[in-house]
């Protein structure tokens, strides 16, 4: 069974450009999470969806970041305009049900973003 699929795996872009990261969750999962990982701040939750509806976007850094989930099998995280401080690994993860109920969250391989 396919896991969480993210694209692109690596992206290098110039400051000011738009970046779009894509995620396909595990089939049948109803929760989707976007995390960002940096050396300084560790693994931070940006936003999560339940049944395609954003539940908590308090971790989204600023208006330059936006996330959508148009259907149960696809989500995007967009950064416009990008800045060097956005350089990080962005992970998408999915689960069936809540981790509070003991359901496991499965992570994708991550998208490595470098903004120069």
Q: Which stretch binds other proteins (CB under 8 A): 11-19, 20-28, 49-57, 62-70?
A: 49-57
Q: Is 57 in the site for other proteins (CB under 8 A)?
A: no
Alpha-carbon gap, residue 61 to 70, rounded angstroms: 21
Instruction: Yes or no: say if 18 and 81 are a contact pair by the CB < 8 Å rule.
Output: yes
Identified binder of other proteins from the candidate list 60, 110, 113, 115, rule CB under 8 A: 110
Provide, rounded to whole angstroms, the least separation between the CB of residue 33 and other proteins.
7
Q: Is 99 in the site for other proteins (CB under 8 A)?
A: yes
Helix (H, G, I), strand (E, B) or coil at 85: helix
Alpha-carbon gap, residue 50 to 54, rounded angstroms: 6
Residues constituting the chain: 116
Task: Give the residues lining the site for other proteins (CB under 8 A).
Answer: 4, 31, 33, 42-43, 45, 48, 50, 55-56, 91, 93, 98-102, 104-110, 112
């Amino acid at each position: 069974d396919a896991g969480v699929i993210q694209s692109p795996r690596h992206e290098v872009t110039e400051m000011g450009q738009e970046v779009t990261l894509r995620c396909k969750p595990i089939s049948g999962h109803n929760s989707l999470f976007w995390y960002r990982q940096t050396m300084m701040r560790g693994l931070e939750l940006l936003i999560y969806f339940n049944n395609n509806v954003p539940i908590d976007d308090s971790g989204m850094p600023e208006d330059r970041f936006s996330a959508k989930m148009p259907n149960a099998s696809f989500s995007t995280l967009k950064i416009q305009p990008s800045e060097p401080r956005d350089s990080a690994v962005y992970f998408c993860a999915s689960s069936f049900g809540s981790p509070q109920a003991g359901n496991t969250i499965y992570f994708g391989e991550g998208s490595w973003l470098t903004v120069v």
